[in-house]
Amino acid sequence: MTNLWTVENLGEGTYVFRWRPGFYASIFAVTGSGVVATDPIDETAAASYREAIASVTSEPVRWILYSHDHRDHITGARALSPDADVIAHHSVGPWLAARADRNIAAPTRHLGDEETLEFGRYSIELHHYGPNHSRTNSAFVFPAGTGPMLLFVDLVEPGVAPYRELPDTDIIGSIRSLRAASELECRTVMGGHRGPGDPAWVTGYLAYFEELVERTEAAFRRGGGQNPLPGEDGIAMTERFRDEVCRAVTEELRPGYGSWRGFDAWVPKNVDRVLGYVITGN
């Protein structure tokens, strides 16, 4: 262990690597046939990821599993293990190819919407419910000592409010995906930054997103939509109206979710993003 990383044994061959603990987290598994490692973060983190894995096993990293296409989670694959097979849902490859990002190793194995991945004696379930936090984000179920553990990177982060302006997020897709994930049999839930936590965080996030949309739509209607005051131009109206909605909805959400870390900093930005959905449909 160093001040840059920690590694935690979750049981059943499953471990969590924490990069700058509290900042990023990735799951890896010692399978008896090699190591399968999720989300190598970036080149700097991947060097420490190698150290963390070597601290618990001499098995090589043979497989790297991407949770989704976002750069902040997957640019370190070559640094982690240049010869590993890179595995991802079939939607990931086309998006990476379209971006032509040379820092990201392209997937070598493409998965369907429902898969059970076998690595020797070790297995991982994949469930892809469509767009949510990104167009490509999948849910995974790993074995752990306390029972099955759901990994749903960035869509469920136990203990904290959803991130800022919900970049690249499909709002209604997130609700659909959380509703589907809530039906999985899991004893804990892990994100790409926080966890493991109680599986109630899945239904908690679902309730939050549903209420966020409902209250933002209501505030939009209550405020009369986008209508300038006399003498007010479109820019001034937009900023005034969005500020009013963000403040009002944040306070309406506070009784249920105000104890979540980042509430004051990020929930107003969540509201602003959902207001954009209410106005545009996207």
Alpha-carbon distance of 60 to 46, in angstroms, equals: 14
Is 98 strand, coil or helix? helix
Class of residue 240 by CB neighbours under 10 A (exposed 0-12, middle 13-18, buried 19+) = middle
Residue 167 structure tokens: 């970049």
Alpha-carbon distance of 66 to 248, in angstroms, equals: 38
Q: What is the largest CA-CA distance in the chain?
A: 72
The pTM for the full model equals: 0.97
Residue 23 is classified by DSSP as T
Do residues 140 and 150 lie in contact, with contact meaning Cβ atoms separated by under 8 Å? yes
Do residues 235 and 204 lie in contact, with contact meaning Cβ atoms separated by under 8 Å? no
Along the 282 residues of the chain, how does pLDDT read in single tens digits?
468 999 999 999 999 999 999 999 999 999 999 999 999 999 999 999 999 999 999 999 999 999 999 999 999 999 999 999 999 999 999 999 999 999 999 999 999 999 999 998 999 999 999 999 999 999 999 999 999 999 999 999 999 999 999 999 999 999 999 999 999 999 999 999 999 999 999 999 999 999 999 999 999 999 999 889 999 999 999 999 999 999 999 999 999 999 999 999 999 999 999 999 999 999
Backbone angles phi, psi at 220, to 5 degrees: -60, -45
